[in-house]
Structure 1
Amino acid sequence: MRSLIWALGLSGTAAAAAVSTTIANDHHATTTAPQPHSTEDTPCAIAKSRAEAFMSAEPEATRAFMLPSIAFNCLKSIPVDKENDMGLLNYLEPYIHFQSTLEPLAAPPDFYLIPGVDVLSGFGQIRAKLSNDEYDSQVDFALELSYLFIQASDGHFVYKPAILDVFQFGSLSSVVSVADNATALPRVYLRSDFEQFVANDTDVYDIESIDDVPIVDFLEAQACFAMGSGDGFSPRFPGQSPDVQVIKFTNGTTFNDTLVASISVNVVDYIGSAGVIHEYFELPVTATPTSSSSLSSTASSTSSATPTSTQLRGYPVPVVKHAHDWISGYFMNGSEYEDIAVLSIPAFSPWTIPETKINGTFETLEAESVVSEFLQKAKDAGKTKLIIDMQANPGGLIFAGYQLYNQLFPKADIWDGNRLRANAALDALGSTAEKVAPEILFDAVTSVYNENHEAYDSWADLYGPQFIGEQNFVAQVGVNASQSNFTEYLEAAFDVLPSLEEPPLLPALAEAGSFNYRNAYARDDFNGYPEQFKYEASNCRLFYTAEMIVDPVAIWNLTVQVVWADGQCVNGSTANANNTISGDVVGFDKKVLSTVKAYDGPGSLSFKGDYEGPQPYTQKSASGPSLII
């Protein structure tokens, strides 16, 4: 189902994105740097001068460093591009309608741990602020747009404007959370101090506050806007980094942590003025690629069976290991662990291969072989207990997860209840597929089942739309596909179909953007909230000690004690009064909700600003919408 929809409708967009990336990279590599029409005391000229001075002192460096305030003042000097900003919002919004969580995010359940966000209202509120001239600079607009995406708390729902990728902000220090024992509350240390402690058993002190804000409150507040896998300490968005922050330790000493902004030395020539930055980094290049080689290489899969090593760094020698390291099996040593086997799965896809280069077929077949071999060897060795270590697993190939479950529980009836958000563009794609590739669509539609394990008969049967509980999966469909040919249907859908044209402003090239197109539902609550909106505590909570951070075997040893030898869990984290692990879990309590001040910008459920609706996006140079079939 997924591959068909993307092949017919969104592959053109993916191709356009690939072309844009190739053109932009060529542009960056070959264009002669324009001379900024500014004096040397303008904010961006100052930033360029500081970068050049750093490069002169450090000629081998790949990035130039400066104080955050200098870089941010440069970004703040870039004026609002109202027309293109409006165009960008109109360009993005049709894609946003595919995001599967829009309705539950706007009306989350009481047990949802973070504030809700109305993404579509947020787009309209940002649009209204543009119309009302409420943004002082281009970076202010870009920040609010990025914050709107971040509040969805969905790693698959991403958009980062290019202007936010000019400089990288943050501290050169990092922090680590460590507990004295696995049931004690952890304390926060500078990573450099922690490494000294591990290497030399040196006395170190934990952090009490940063700029007089208690460390836990500081990290929680920063984490509301953490970028990617950020820990709330570094990296940070523009405007969140002072030049210096004062770190106070529990022994009363302080450390003045100097923060930095950095920029690639390859683009320093293009930051001499606000206008040059806007033109070079944000505006798309009007050029036509002469070869399609970049497209084919972007889509190719290059996973191979060549192993990187026979042992993962920091881990013992495995019994068996995936060629790309993301699944491996171990037997524990010691008489008290002689019946224990461990299956370590830090991810469901390789982290050493770019996502676009991953060969899903090879990865899943290799994983199936590894698990089968490991389970057989464990059985032959008399192992009767299995630890599945999935700490820090960010996800990956969906089918790999189902395959693993099927191997571990071969008699179980696997439930894969999913829904796509109904929207007019999705219906246009499905209805078009029904006209241009009926055999393929029929195979796709009839290969999925409803909650009663009954196959769907047609696209209309699958699409519905339906209104499910408090979640809106209903779309207004203006044209009946059975009464028109597919070309007419597409033409009627141009107001809702995502544009395949060049965007008015470029995203960050390293991470253009994405949406999460489907939700997962529990078998016993398939008309309720998606699984990610539900609260379910762990059966037992433990904190990382220093030994556990540097040695996964220490985690496995403690797991054995807790699960099979009545070891202790963190007080209050288990349903048993004696703090041993339980088959039940602790129920939801509002005390688990964060007390950090919630985001209150556009899209927040408390925001009271004006709303302005979208307009169909068309390129300024285009005479009308083009039909790509």
Structure 2
Amino acid sequence: MIVKTTAAALLGLGCTFADAVSLPQIGILPAASIVKRQAAPAKYVPTEDDLSSGCANIARVAASFGRTSEAGSATAFPVDAKIAYDCLASIPLDKDAVLLFLNELKKFVQFQSTLEYLARPPSKSGQDPMDLLGGLTDIGTAVNSGSITSWNDVETRAEKLLDGCHEGHLYVTWPLPSLISFRAPFQLVSMSSDGTQLPKVYVADDAQLESTGNGQFNASAITQIDGQDVVQAIDKLMYYESSQSPDTRWNAAFQSQNPPKQGEFFTRTRYPGANTFVLTFENGTSTEYSYTAKALNVPGQNIWSKLTSGQDVWDKIINVPPAQNSGAAGKLRARALEDYKHRTMISPMDETLRRLKKRQTANNEVPPPDQLVILNGDFPDTPGVKPYIQDINQVVGGYFMADYDKSDDNSKTAIIDVTGFSPDNTTAEFATQAVQAAVEMFLAEAKRRKMERLIIDVRGNGGGYVNMGYDLYKQLFPSSEPYSGTRLRNHPASLKIAQAFTQLVNQEVIDDLIKNIGGGVGANLSVAQAARYEQATFASVSNLDQFLNLDANGTAFKSFGDFFGPVDIYDDQFTHTLTYDLRNLIAVGDLGYSITGYGDRASYANNPDPFKPENIILVTDGVCASTCGIFAEFLRNQQKIRTVVVGGRPDKEPSPAVGGTRGTQVIQHNAHMLKFVEIVEQNFAPRDAAEQAEWDGIFPRPFQLNIPEAAVNWKDNIRKTDPTQTPLQFYLEAADCRLFYTKQTLVYSHELWNRVDDLAWGSEDNCAQGSLKNANVVLGDANGVPVSIGPVTGPGFNSGANGDLPQLTGDYDVDTALWIWYGVRYSIGSSRGRTPA
């Protein structure tokens, strides 16, 4: 077996799967590091001496690293896993500061749309019960009693409480993983011999390098991790990944090319529980390997010179209010936000406001379409082939199979690869316009070439701009009205904000703004109107405005009560069902942009569909979430599009095409919620001291610790035909066809597209599970209730047989979180009974 270590790997810089093919062999681990054993390494518990020296040891490594050439550009430097954990475990806390933070977090978490559903998950959902407010209360109780004395324990336990909800829109951007994180010495891949046989798990470099001259595959598969069956071990490791589907969580463990990722077996945000691990292989050998860690490096600065103890980290990194977080605390905050940038791109609001502020400048105009696209350029997700066209931000690429498959020059199949619904670059401009232009030009070329079939690849697509998803659907089906019924949780804070926004941004204000926006990207707005537009933009993002929403039938609400409710469902209260007003420029929230079929693109609604629904296939790896989930729902529910899901656990069971969050909007604490509250309080004053106290008790306030960001799922997605009105988040609906990755399809997307093309329209018939030629798109039972592949009763996936506890910590230290699990699983408190202290 070949094991390589490189400076890039140690620094967490890594390489893509395609890069790994051409990497030279650096060397094999010395014989002294190879141990023939199968038992799991013992859980590591630092001594008092370890705790007192951990951060100081990192500071010494940092000083040495600062003298190397890499220090001027590297974002991290390697440290021993043991001393990294010693430092983390030594970080103390101040009770009052932590309790204040937890209280503010609970006030914000009350906006999570699925609170009651999480506490008592519906049958077949696959979700274990998680009482968010009760669990946060229990953590605070443990801090107050002295049972928790380390800030690292607070982060770890609260993170697992949130992550156990398997809701990608619900998270806190914790500071410590950006200060210190951990790495395995190599990445893993999961591959099948032919795409239908059950896959096996391999060390990624072995899978790339161990092939004989005649093309036979000789790498030895992994059978155990730390003495446990490899499938069970990876299931346990990935339990706290954010996707609802266990197959999607499985995929997240592994290296892939589309999208390029190293996999969460390799990249560990938290200490793995031990300093080493043991792999056992099919060939009978067992080998022990060491974890490493990476510590934050700020080029040109040695921040660790002032972080020589856990107390220093608490004082200078954690216990620092956002307004004061200069120096190391500010650098850490910026790094953490950068790490989460894919979750920040949730609406066009930021770009719209930037463009509004420079509305009088010449470069504020949207460029013509031909300046928003690239022809025949490289595309990061597809080595080996180039798209005919892509947008300038590399969000979508359009391909023609005849261009790259010379064995089928007459192919009538086109492909759209949608990497996300927002750019990776958070400062990218004209993102929605560029994707709109690229797709329109691609479809025009497909028509010219007389294409008949379309494959849409959304693997790795975690969502983004809602507008982009709507527009892509409307370009494919111009005359169809996309339906997405959504709702928000109705509680005292959301009611106050809704009352304020509805009063501030009423129909008269909306009409005035739309009249004066004009075609100059807001250039015609006065300073006062621009300020009003900014206010309206936040009202639009919040969806807490009667006049910026339509009802389930697509008509205006007659009254505030008709809009906001409350509607009693599932022992909780919600708004009435809302739909998106695509004809309202303020509701769309993107200056200079109209969704296809509306506004200045209304005439497109008369165009014929470029492809018949039966000639479109949607390919996913289950990651599809948020806006991608909305887009997939349009295709599947309204057009009966067939789906293929790739990867997942090694079984022949059905697997969902959409395994990520099916919520329709994420709202962030700092970027959005605090602005909502600010607008309310700037425009309305409490009547008396009692009402001021009420506002202070329900409105989220700034965190007084250095927490870069937090988020909740703001809106549920409710299928129109479901009489139970259960959020789609709690349905796992099977794809029509399931495949596993092979060595070729894992690296080369076009090999997978060729396989799907043959399964749908060619001579091949066999999916690993299901079928494309005889697909029966399941859209609900006789009553219209979506059909889920989750278990009928009992605990969710991965909870273990006979009610055994899941491995809550994801790796080894299950005992540190048992009390949280018992508090949640056995209903010690409920989300209704737990209110902010």
2: distance between equivalents of 1:272 and 1:289? 19
- Residue 329 (structure 1) aligned with residue 547 (structure 2): no
Query: 2:41 — aligned with what?
Result: none
Deviation of the 1:241 alpha carbon: 4.2
Q: TM-score, normalised by structure 2?
A: 0.60
Contact 2:51 2:86 in 1 (8 A): no
Counterpart in the other structure of 1:221: 236
| 1:488 to 1:285, Cα distance in 2 relative to 1, 3 A | closer
Query: Equivalent residue for 1:192?
Result: 205
1:262-411 matches, cutoff 5 A: 262-266=294-298, 267-284=303-320, 300=354, 310-313=377-380, 314-333=383-402, 334-335=407-408, 338-351=411-424, 353-354=425-426, 357-359=427-429, 362-411=430-479
Change (3 A) 1:254 1:58: farther
User: In 2 relative to 1, CA 288–271 (structure 1 residues): closer, same or farther, beyond 3 Å?
Assistant: closer
8 Å contact from structure 1 (residues 566, 581) kept in 2: no
What amino acid sits opposite 2:137 in the alignment? G
The letter for the 2-side match of 1:248 is T
Instruction: Say yes or no: does 1:605 pair with 2:824.
Output: yes
* Aligned partner (choices 693, 696, 699) of residue 495 of structure 1: 696
Does residue 1:122 correspond to 2:135, yes or no? yes
1:144 and 1:601 in contact (8 A); partners too: no
Distance 1:396 1:581, change over 3 A: farther
* Cα contact 2:91–2:310 (8 A) shared by 1: yes
- Please state whether the residue corresponding to 1:325 is helix, strand or coil: coil
CA contact (8 A) 1:329 1:374 kept: yes
| Residues 397 and 417, structure 2, Cα contact 8 Å, conserved in 1 | yes
1:42 to 52, 75, 89: 52
1:466 counterpart (555, 564, 567): 567
Q: SS in structure 1 opposite 2:265?
A: coil
Amino acid corresponding to residue 346 of structure 1 in structure 2: T
Where does residue 170 of structure 2 map in the other structure?
157
2:564 touches 2:574 (CA, 8 Å); kept in 1?
no
TM-score (norm 1): 0.79
Deviations 1:542-575 (A, max 9, x none): 011111012111111111121123634445x32x
**Counterpart Cα distance in 2 of 1:112 and 1:47:** 47
Q: Per-residue displacement from partner, 1:187-224 (whole Å, max 9, x unpaired)?
A: 11111222324798573211111211121111111112
C-alpha separation between the residues in 1 aligned to 2:50 and 2:148?
A: 26
Contact (CA 8 Å) 1:442, 1:458: kept in 2 or not?
no
Q: From 179, 188, 191, give the equivalent of 1:175.
A: 188
Counterpart position of 1:7: none
Taking the aligned partners of 2:106 and 2:713, their CA distance within structure 1 comes to: 14
What's the secondary structure of 1:155's corresponding residue? coil
Question: Could you list the per-position Cα deviations for residues 96-151 of structure 1 after superposition, in whole angstroms to 9, with x for gaps in the alignment?
Answer: 11111212211212111231311111112212222332214221122111111111
Instruction: Specify every segment of 5 or more residues in structure 1 that has no aligned partner in the other structure, as ranges.
Output: 1-37, 476-484, 617-629
Match of 1:55 in 2: 65
Partner deviation per Cα, 1:129-186 (whole Å, 9 max, x = no partner): 2233221422112211111111121222111332443211121311111111110111
Matched AA of 2:692: E
In the aligned structure 2, how far is the partner of 1:457 from the partner of 1:187? 58
8 Å CA contact 1:326–1:347 kept in 2: the answer is: yes
1:454 to 540, 552, 555: 555
The aligned counterpart of 1:588 is 789
Task: State, as a whole percentage, how many aligned pairs show the same letter.
Answer: 23
Deviations 1:349-401 (A, max 9, x none): 112x02xx244xx2222222222222221122121111112222211111111
**Helix, strand or coil: the match of 2:775?**
coil
Distance 1:278 1:524, change over 3 A: same
**Quick one: which amino acid aligns to residue 696 of structure 2?**
D
CA distance in 1, matches of 2:441, 2:757: 23
Query: Following superposition of structure 1 onto structure 2, how do residues 238-277 of structure 1 map, counting pairs within 5 Å?
Result: 238-266=270-298, 267-277=303-313
Q: Find the partner of 1:539 among 731, 736, 748.
A: 736
Q: Does 1:93 align with 2:93?
A: no
* 2:754 corresponds to 1:557: yes
TM-fit CA distance, 1:457 = 2.9
| Residue aligned with 1:487, SS | coil
User: Which of 114, 121, 125 is residue 112 of structure 1 equivalent to?
Assistant: 125
Deviation at 1:68, TM superposition (A): 1.8
Q: CA deviation at 1:468?
A: 2.6
Structure with the bigger RCO (C-alpha within 8 Å, sep 6+) is: 1
- Once residues 506 and 298 of structure 1 are traced to their aligned partners in structure 2, the CA distance between those partners, rounded to angstroms, is 28
Q: C-alpha separation between the residues in 1 aligned to 2:240 and 2:758?
A: 37
Decide whether the 8 Å contact of 1:207 with 1:247 is kept in 2: yes
Match of 2:32 in 1: none
Contact 1:55 1:265 in 2 (8 A): no
- 1:478 corresponds to which residue? none
**1:428-462 Cα distance to aligned partner (Å, 9 max, x none):** 11222344444577775234222233311344431
Structure 2 unaligned residues grouped into runs of 5+: 1-47, 244-251, 254-262, 327-333, 335-349, 356-363, 512-544, 577-682, 779-786, 809-817
**Per-residue deviation, 1:336:** 7.6
